[in-house]
Amino acid sequence: MTDSKVVLQGRYELVGELGQGGMGTVYMARDMRLNGRPCVAKKLRDDFYVEEDKQKAVAFFKREAGVLSCLQHPNIVHILDYFEESDNYFLVMEYIEGRNLYEILQERGEPFSCEQVVGWAKEICDVLEYLHEHDPPVIYRDLKPTNIMLDVKGHVKLVDFGIARPCAENADNTHVVSAGYSPPEQYWGAADPRSDIYALGATMFFLLTAAEPVALHPSSPVSCNANVLSYVNEVVECATAQDPQSRYQSARQMRDALVSPVNMKDSSRRKQLIFALAGTLIVVFVLGYNKFHEMLNSSQQQLKASQQIITQQDQEKGYLRKKLRTYSRAVEAEEKAIRELQVKVKGQPGKTSDVDNGAAVVAQVVDERELTDPEGLLDNH
């Protein structure tokens, strides 16, 4: 750029250079139609020596514009415009106030905490899930710290979709890689959604260790930073497996693995707690069952004793009823005998005393056992 004022499309004023990359130069700009609102203008490089390379670069640039125009996600940079002017190609995108994670770590000089990295990784998993489930699915293919911006609110945003492409059977198999962050299959152009999973795992390794991941090699951050939680280390190892089948098969699956239990420092602690809880529940169950069994036996014994008492009372009541009937019959027999005797002496004066004597005779004639105990109950009591 020269010192003269440059305005593109009569709208976007370029105010300064932000940086350069393999595909071109990024400028800070202002949208003159919207009260000078800040934006970013990305210009495709024009110094290709081979025409074929330029044509490929233009195709990538146009594809980036096409991909971004179809995406609407809070963690993806928004495209505002795309145009060609004076044989140059431009993309205009939203301005993100912040810096990329690579720059932040370099200035910091030490790794980020597990909590911080896991938080960012879960946000990125949400973005990847959105991309991979888009219609058509989109493979980012260039996930690395320099392409992850951190805004002033602490949220991440993915930028530079230059080599992103829709995932289709007839898609080109371009060999575009970033050493250490690209999986083995991307080296021969066979990238799929699991390739972005690998790149996220490698990015986590860098953020947790402040060391660049080794190309074509599984990453294990705990080998460089002993403070990395074991479950986080396991997530990174799984994500960077060399065989795609051994990785997480989706961004959602990886995000679920990143959810750490509350107040749990690592997965081994979680397992210990689960086993302890299970043992406690078993003990409580056994003790509770034994106590319940004792109470049940005690209740059954009390019920049996009550039934025995009731049975004994019923027997005594039966005996008393029978004894009462026996005495009643004896009294009735005596009264009958007296009446019969009275009939015999009726009308015979001077025979009154005979009635009394007759009663005595009746008592002699009627056997005492027949009158008082005709059923023989008194023999047993």
Q: Give the three-class secondary structure for 225.
A: coil
Q: What per-residue confidence (pLDDT) applies to 237?
A: 98
Q: Give 159 or 296, the one with higher predicted confidence.
A: 159
Chain segment 96-132, per-residue pLDDT in tens = 999 999 999 999 999 999 999 999 999 999 999 999 9
Q: What does the pLDDT average to over 257-284? A: 65
pLDDT band at 165 (very low <50, low <70, confident <90, very high): low
In the predicted structure, residue 14 carries a pLDDT above the cut 80: yes
Chain segment 201-242, per-residue pLDDT in tens = 999 999 999 999 999 999 999 999 999 999 999 999 999 999
Q: What per-residue confidence (pLDDT) applies to 140?
A: 93
Residue 96 has what DSSP assignment? -
> Nearest 5°: phi and psi at 170?
-95, 15
Contacts 24+ apart (CB under 8 A), 190-193: 191/139, 191/141, 192/139, 192/167, 192/244, 193/128, 193/132, 193/137, 193/139, 193/167, 193/250, 193/251
Mean pLDDT of the chain: 84
196 is catalytic: no
Q: Which of 142, 160, 196, 266 is catalytic?
A: 142
Helix, strand, coil share of the chain (percent; to 5): 50, 15, 35
Please report which helix (H) or strand (E) contains residue 41, including its range: strand 37-44
Alpha carbon 167 to its chain centroid, in Å, reads 30
Q: Which CATH architecture has domain 1-95?
A: 2-Layer Sandwich (3.30)
> Nearest 5°: phi and psi at 233?
-60, -40
**Domain spans of the chain?**
1-95, 98-260, 272-379
> Nearest 5°: phi and psi at 57?
-65, -40
Q: Give 50 or 117, the one with higher predicted confidence.
A: 117
In the predicted structure, residue 353 carries a pLDDT above the cut 90: no
Q: What does the pLDDT average to over 57-67? A: 90
Based on C-alpha coordinates, what's the Rg of the chain?
Answer: 51
pLDDT band at 357 (very low <50, low <70, confident <90, very high): low
Q: Does domain 98-260 have CATH number 3.40.50.300?
A: no
**Helices vs. strands in the chain: H and E counts, helices first:** 10, 11
- For tokens 């004896």, the residue is 330
| Strands across the sheet containing 148-151 | 98-100, 148-151, 156-158
pLDDT band at 272 (very low <50, low <70, confident <90, very high): low
Please report which helix (H) or strand (E) contains residue 14, including its range: strand 12-20
Cα distances (angstroms) measured from residue 136 to each of 56, 157, 165, 185, 239: 22, 21, 10, 21, 24
In the predicted structure, residue 179 carries a pLDDT above the cut 80: yes
Is the pTM here over 0.75, yes or no? no
